[in-house]
Amino acid sequence: MLDIAVAQIRAQLQAGDVSIEDAARSMDTSVRTLQRELQQAGADFRSLTSAVRIERATELLMGTNVSVTSISEELGYSSPAGFSRAFRKATGLGPREFRSTDPGNDRRGVKWQDAFVAPMG
């Protein structure tokens, strides 16, 4: 169930809006059942969504030259500052610091449009 929920979150994130109601509907279950199953697995929808967002952010930061502002918008954060705070809390580094940890990664050939439709995971 956890893997399916993560896949649903990834799909919704790419579509632009993440909600437990939509995830449950896509999984042909109720919101309460989804919550209960996630709880039994030691997770909750909000935490999973945050983890998927951070995972996707790391992919975009390391694999593209997409701006931090564009990444924050694409991942549904209300502001670049909010994204930076969440990213720092999750990784211990700000997005720009994280990106600079891999100076050998050449992102010049990746267009930003391609980055947002790339497969996740």
Contact 57, 115 (CB under 8 A): no
pLDDT score of 45 = 94
Contact 12, 22 (CB under 8 A): yes
pLDDT per residue as tens digits for the range 6-47:
998 999 888 878 899 999 999 999 999 999 999 999 999 999
The dihedral formed by the CA atoms of 76, 79, 80 and 81, expressed in degrees to the nearest 10:
-130
- For the segment 77-96, the average pLDDT, to the nearest whole number, is 95
Window from 11-20, 28-37, 66-75, 90-99 with minimum mean pLDDT: 11-20
pLDDT score of 104 = 55
Report all structural domains of the chain as residue ranges with CATH numbers, in order of start: 2-117 (1.10.10.60)
Angle between the N-to-C axes of helices 45-63 and 31-40, in degrees from 0 to 180, rounded to the nearest 10: 80
| pLDDT confidence bin for 115, thresholds 50/70/90 | very low
What are 59's two structure tokens? 């992919």
Average model confidence (pLDDT) across the chain: 85
pLDDT score of 102 = 65
Residue 87 has pLDDT above 50, yes or no: yes
| pLDDT confidence bin for 67, thresholds 50/70/90 | very high
Contact 31, 21 (CB under 8 A): yes
